[in-house]
Amino acid sequence: MLVFLVRRLLQAVMVMLAVAFIAFLMFRYLGDPVNNIVSQDATQEQREEVRKRLRLDDPLILQYGRFVVNAAQGDFGVSYRNSRPVSALLAERFPATAELVLVAAILSLALGIPLGIYTALKPRGVLSQGLQILSLVGISLPTFVTGILLILVFSVWLGWLPSFGRGDVIDIGWWWTGFLTATGLKALILPSFMLCLFQLTLIMRLVRAEMLEVLRADYIKFARARGLRNRTIHFRHALKNTLIPVVTIFGLQLGGLIAFAIITETVFQWPGMGALFIQAVNFTDVPVMAAYLVMVSLLFVIINTSVDLLYNVIDPRLRTDQTRATGRGA
């Protein structure tokens, strides 16, 4: 177990180094931050001065090296645009993204699993057919289109929900939350729904497919023969076995939620890290972009590791395999 974690930790470091390196390779194609920093009619001298101050003329590998060394000491540099430390900017934006992703993740599970079960148990029902069609729409429409449609219907036409922002927020230490106010909760509905829609439909379809498969299995037939009640069969025997692939997909998709939050945050002007990243791209704000990418890659590694650990808990067969494997490794 410990070996497994240490190995994962090393992998995480490698992933982050690689992501940062690729990021630095790409930043060159984003253009010149200097033009965004100086005024339009700045002289060549002033431009050179800024360039020198930000050390933009250094070779790529040197800029990368400096970033890695500073980042290892927890210093991600200063944003070109906001003149503030990047770590402070990210910390400030993290709660907004975290709350959004959390709600979206819960929604996708809380709605996706029951809907999947329902459509599996009543495959020919009108409602099931309707849900299946809707899920196709959900899985194929680009999220920003759904987002704008949601705004059009619920904000502009019906006037029920806000079209942007987080509503009223309450500070708890450095964290700021929208969970504790009515406007804050209302503001969460549309963005979290937009963000979870893809995951929701994916989970629903997955649960349905797995469930249908499991329901055909011999042990279910045997359970029926034993005269067990339908509810017991469906929820105790069938559902449990359905959930293993769901956990895998959900884990992988959790990273996707964080990544897709960029689009959701842009559409709904949600003041999270994704919005900060987009702004940084527009401004060629290299320190912010680099820090964000490294942080997201770290999150991905953490999520994947947790998923692997969860397997062990859910599926006893994997557990023995894993111990044997690590045992051999050690």
Residues making contact with other proteins (CB under 8 A): 29-33, 35-46, 50, 53-54, 75, 77-78, 81-85, 88-89, 92-93, 96, 148, 151-152, 155-156, 159, 162-169, 176, 181-183, 186, 266-269, 271, 275-276, 278-279, 282-284
The phi and psi torsions of 249 (rounded to 5 degrees) equal: -65, -40
Give every CB contact of residue 147 below 8 A, 6+ residues apart in sequence: 190, 191, 194, 263, 264, 267, 268
Question: Taking the complex as a whole, how short is the minimal distance between the CB of residue 160 and other proteins, in angstroms?
Answer: 8
Taking the complex as a whole, the smallest distance from the CB of residue 290 to other proteins amounts, in Å, to: 15
Q: Among residues 131 and 275, whose Cβ is nearest to other proteins?
A: 275
Q: How far is the CB of 151 from other proteins (least distance, A)?
A: 5
Where does residue 59 rank: exposed (0-12), middle (13-18), buried (19+ CB within 10 A)? exposed
Q: Rounded to whole angstroms, what are the CA distances from 12 to 6, 9, 101, 298, 302?
A: 10, 5, 22, 6, 8
For 160, counting Cβ atoms within 10 Å of its Cβ (0-12 exposed, 13-18 middle, 19+ buried), the class is: exposed
Report the residue number, 35 or 232, with the smaller CB distance to other proteins: 35
Q: Residue 12 or 50: which CB sits closer to other proteins?
A: 50
Amino acid making up residue 93: R
For the CB of residue 254, give the shortest distance to other proteins in the complex, in Å.
24
Q: Which is nearer to other proteins, 119 or 284 (CB)?
A: 284
CA distance 268 to 191: 7
Tokens in use for 173? 């230490």
Please, what is the minimum distance in Å from the beta carbon of residue 89 to other proteins? Answer: 8
Nearer to other proteins, 87 or 128 (CB): 87
Phi, psi of 176 (to 5 degrees): -130, 130
| Residue nearer to other proteins on the CB measure, 36 or 129 | 36
Q: How far is the CB of 188 from other proteins (least distance, A)?
A: 13
